[in-house]
Amino acid sequence: MIMKRILTILALSLLCLTSNAQLVWKISGNGIKKPSYILGTHHGCPFTYCDSIPGLMKAFDKVDNIIGEINMIELAEMSPERMQKMQAMMMMPADTSLLSLFNEEETAKVNAWLMKEMRANLEMLSVMKPMTIMVTVQNKILMEMMPELATMTSIDKYMQTFGQSKGKTIGELETADYQMELLYGDSLEEQADALLEMIDQGDSKRLMVQLTDAYKSQNLDTLWEIFQEQMTGYEYDAIVKVRNLNWEKQMKELLPKQTTLFVVGAGHLPGEFGMINLLREAGYKVKPVKK
């Protein structure tokens, strides 16, 4: 289940668009004087892709706030103490060995996979939690697919830093600590099982390629089908539904006060509990921005 969770979280980062194949949506009506907007992003896509998103910069110019899932500017400027706390969540506890999580047969399987993917083995990565290894491999796949990420800012961070440079207020819908807990909060045993499942299924790269290709072609149907295949009902509730309902509450408070561009992983947009449907059910008009 946890292997699917990391794939699902990554899928949320990659998924984009809506049934009308648009990335930017205008939010109006329901008593608000000026419209706000929501942008669906690919967290691993470089900022240069912004030039390919119809209506994005026009929407950007009209708003006072840029609000992301987390405040990436504050994240980059966090204190050494907080950084150390977050890094500790990714590392094995001092009293537990990474090797102790696997039997002899499993150790051989994981080592063979790690040697292929990272030119390493469990002993060399002994300080990492299994989930950290999984995330590291996923990031490596992303970098192989889009090497420009090594030197370019992501869309999410770019929108915030560019917004700040233009005097816009920067905010967040949830904290980085919350996202870290969502990813690393399961037991070490569950994470070890997830790593083994990821190795057995061997579909991480295929999924990343499919999602990225669908993103670039703006094919929502394909994206949504892939996304649904990766989630159980429990995972959908925890990773999508609960978070989206919380974001909806915050958006309804903000929309009457100031114009805002909400920047989120676009996997949060479609579906019954997607942000587009939730906002429409709350009485807002949510329409695609085509140019």
Domain range summary for the chain, segments of one domain joined by + = 2-79+153-288
CB atoms inside a 10 Å sphere around CB 288? 17
pLDDT of residue 53: 87
Segment 187-202, tens digit of pLDDT: 999 999 989 988 887 7
pLDDT in the model for residue 223? 64
The pLDDT tens digits for 29-75 are: 999 999 999 998 877 678 888 888 889 999 999 999 999 999 999 98
What backbone phi and psi angles, to 5 degrees, belong to 103? -80, 180
Task: State CA 202 to chain mean position distance.
Answer: 21
Task: Write the pLDDT tens digit of every residue in 83-98.
Answer: 888 889 999 999 999 9
Q: What is the mean pLDDT of each run of 10 residues along the chain (291 residues)?
A: 50 43 88 95 81 92 97 88 89 94 96 93 94 89 78 90 97 93 90 88 72 68 69 76 96 96 88 92 94 82
Q: CB burial class (10 A; 0-12, 13-18, 19+) of residue 175?
A: middle
Residues 116 and 16 sit within 8 Å (Cβ to Cβ): no
269 in Cβ contact with 40 (< 8 Å): yes
